[in-house]
Amino acid sequence: MNKDFEMVIGLEVHAELKTATKIFCGCSTKFGAEPNTQCCPVCTGMPGSLPVLNLQVVDYAVKAGLATNCTIASFSKEDRKNYFYPDLPKAYQISQFDLPLCSHGWLDVETEAGSKRIGITRIHIEEDAGKLVHVEGHGTLIDCNRCGVPLIEIVSEPDIRSAEEAKAYLQKLRAILLYTGVSDCRMNEGSLRCDVNLSVRKKGSDKLGTRTEMKNLNSFAYVVKAIEYEFNRQVAVIEAGDAVVQETRRFDPATGKTSSMRSKEDADDYRYFPDPDLPPICISEEKRQELASQIPTLPDERKALYQEKYGLSALAAEFLVMRKEIADYFEAAATLTKYPLIAANLVNSEIARLTPEEGTVPVAPAHLARLADLSGEGKLNSSMCKEVLSILFKEDQDPDALIAKGGFEQVSDEDLLRSMAKEVVASSEKILADYRSGNKKAFQALVGQMMKRTKGKGNPALIQKLLKEEIGE
């Protein structure tokens, strides 16, 4: 990463809304059906057909706006965005141009560097296009099932300055959409996709550079890789004395590189105009309040609560609230243990890792609470907790019975541990010399040897105390 330059990133996220039917007709939105079995004259743009707006789409979009601190427009409208592409039978997409439903929002993200607020320019509703399927030797086929599936497009301000911030923003946005229930955010099914706009400039400059756009990235890992590659590429272009070309670029996950797809004219000319078949959308103050009252406790509210009530760090609390299922689970366990902070650590490490995306935690909250208590009382160390949890994930059972049966009891016999510590210290001349010459990390090597001798069951606090005594500290 070149330290003289900084990146300026804005993200455009498309999220499919979780309605049962499409935005302007009664066709199903269910994913994975046989091609062209979920379409009708309206969503395939047959002459004479008329769209009727699905009001659930408006409700969901307004909820997404309220949950991201947006201003909700009392008056907005839908516009035709005219362009030709084979996946768009109507040759125009119904979207929103100058009067989006939601605008001027923001959300806060947490990274290693601290907390940061990212602005949200607008959220508007629109319809999805169909899907082109390229079949080797048979040309290209079209599947219209996706035509007219409702989307919200969430456009951020160019406030993002690193790949890490971009990822944190996407994760937070996804969490908010899942909490509010407006989208299932399944990236592997394309219901959440991201376009990255990126430019670079000399640090300290307030002038924006020429940007490129990378479209339809469907994994957070790809977003990070695409940003890192594109930053370095643009810096290299500028340092070679050339100019960055404004264009759309394709990211290839196989190579981790971006390549030019098409150059962009200065302004796209979509010839937007208000759709004459659709009346304006008017949202009364009453309606806005009704929708606001349906918004559940959001990630940030929970995060603040966990920091205050359980003393979690901002980063740990942020991680915990990202998945609603996991946060619900933690709350259930936290009320049952004397050591909620240990429970939080176990949830953030092992439980978050072992629980499949969209899955539920198979371990009873009371069982996790019991493990946290045993750990807090010094009867189980962290590696034993990990091992017990991996067994409970396969078959949930009473942890006390499992521990008695499986010999998980922590070794806290002071005499036994002291004699081991004597042996370890006596046989580790080199490590000791290293430690005494100032390398404090060398101490961990001694702890490691003790853990090896106790087969990972030694009480870590007692081991550290005894080792220090034997060294003479």
Residues contacting Zn ion: total by CB under 5 A: 5
Q: Of the two residues 24 and 251, which places its CB atom closer to Zn ion in the complex?
A: 24
Q: For the CA atoms of the chain, what is the radius of gyration?
A: 28
Beta carbon nearer to Zn ion, 27 or 384: 27
Rounded least distance, CB 25 to Zn ion, Å: 3
Tell me phi and psi for residue 463, to 5 degrees.
-60, -45
Q: Do residues 450 and 417 make contact, with C-beta atoms less than 8 angstroms apart?
A: yes
Q: Which stretch binds Zn ion (CB under 5 A): 23-31, 122-130, 255-263, 309-317?
A: 23-31
Nearer CB in complex with Zn ion: 43/223: 43
Which DSSP state fits 204? T
Query: Judged by CB, which is closer to Zn ion: 27, or 312?
Result: 27
Report how far residue 155's alpha carbon sits from residue 12's, in angstroms, rounded to the nearest whole number: 5
Cα separation, 274 vs 146, in Å, equals: 23
- According to the binding rule CB under 5 A, does residue 43 interact with Zn ion? yes
Nearer to Zn ion, 80 or 167 (CB): 80
Per-residue binding string, Zn ion, 362-381, x by CB under 5 A, is: --------------------
Q: Which residues of 385-417 are buried (b: 16+ CB within 10 A; e: fewer)?
A: bbbbbebbeeeeeebeebbeeeebebbbeeeeb
Choose the stretch contacting Zn ion; rule: CB under 5 A; options: 26-34, 239-247, 292-300, 342-350. Answer: 26-34
How many CB atoms within 10 Å of residue 75? Answer: 9
Using CB under 5 A, which residues numbered 224 to 283 contact Zn ion?
none
Give yes or no for a contact between 371 and 405, defined as CB atoms under 8 angstroms apart. no
Helix (H) or strand (E) holding 94: strand 92-95
- Are 1 and 231 spatial neighbours (Cβ–Cβ below 8 Å)? yes
As measured in angstroms, the least distance from the Cβ of 28 to Zn ion is 9
Residue number, 53 or 227, with CB nearest to Zn ion: 53
Q: Is residue 467 part of the contact set for Zn ion (CB under 5 A)?
A: no
Buried b (16+ CB within 10 A) or exposed e, 131-153: eeeeeeeeeeebbbbbbbbbbbb
Please choose, out of 27-35, 173-181, 377-385, 417-425, the segment that lies near Zn ion by the rule CB under 5 A. 27-35
Maximum alpha-carbon separation in the chain: 91
Residue 25 found at the interface with Zn ion (CB under 5 A): yes
State the Cα torsion 363-369-371-372 to the nearest 10°: 140
32 C-beta neighbours (distance < 10 Å), count? 6
Single out the residue of 146, 157, 196, 171 nearest to residue 16, CA to CA. 146
Q: Which stretch binds Zn ion (CB under 5 A): 25-33, 257-265, 419-427, 461-469?
A: 25-33
Helix (H) or strand (E) holding 81: strand 79-82
Residue pair 32/20 in contact by the 8 Å Cβ criterion:
no
Binding map of Zn ion across residues 192-211, x = CB under 5 A, - = no contact: --------------------
Stretch near Zn ion under the rule CB under 5 A, chosen from 22-30, 398-406, 430-438, 456-464: 22-30
Q: What CA–CA distance (Å, rounded) separates 178 from 67?
A: 11
Nearest CB to Zn ion, comparing residues 102 and 147: 147
Give the shortest CB-29-to-Zn ion separation in angstroms: 10
Interacting span for Zn ion (CB under 5 A) from 18-26, 255-263, 375-383, 449-457: 18-26
Q: Is the Cβ of residue 25 or residue 432 nearer to Zn ion in the bound state?
A: 25
Minimum CB–partner distance for residue 143 and Zn ion (Å): 13
**Taking the complex as a whole, how short is the minimal distance between the CB of residue 49 and Zn ion, in angstroms?**
9
CA–centroid distance for 463 within its chain = 39
Q: Which of 8, 12, 40, 366 lies at the binding interface for Zn ion (CB under 5 A)?
A: 40
Q: Nearest to residue 363, comparing CAs of 341, 386, 339?
A: 386
Residue 94, interface with Zn ion (CB under 5 A)? no
Nearer to Zn ion, 43 or 425 (CB): 43
Residue 358 CB partners (closer than 8 Å, separation 6+) = none
Q: How far is the CB of 38 from Zn ion (least distance, A)?
A: 7
Nearer to Zn ion, 68 or 95 (CB): 95
Phi then psi for 169, rounded to 5 degrees?
-65, -45
Measured from the CB of residue 140, what is the shortest distance to Zn ion in angstroms?
Answer: 22
Nearer to Zn ion, 90 or 174 (CB): 90
Among 27, 129, 163, 326, binds Zn ion (CB under 5 A): 27
Q: Which is nearer to Zn ion, 145 or 375 (CB)?
A: 145
Q: Is 129 in the site for Zn ion (CB under 5 A)?
A: no
In the complex, minimum distance from the CB of residue 57 to Zn ion, in angstroms, rounded to a whole number: 14
Residues lying near Zn ion in the complex (CB under 5 A) are found at: 25, 27, 40, 42-43
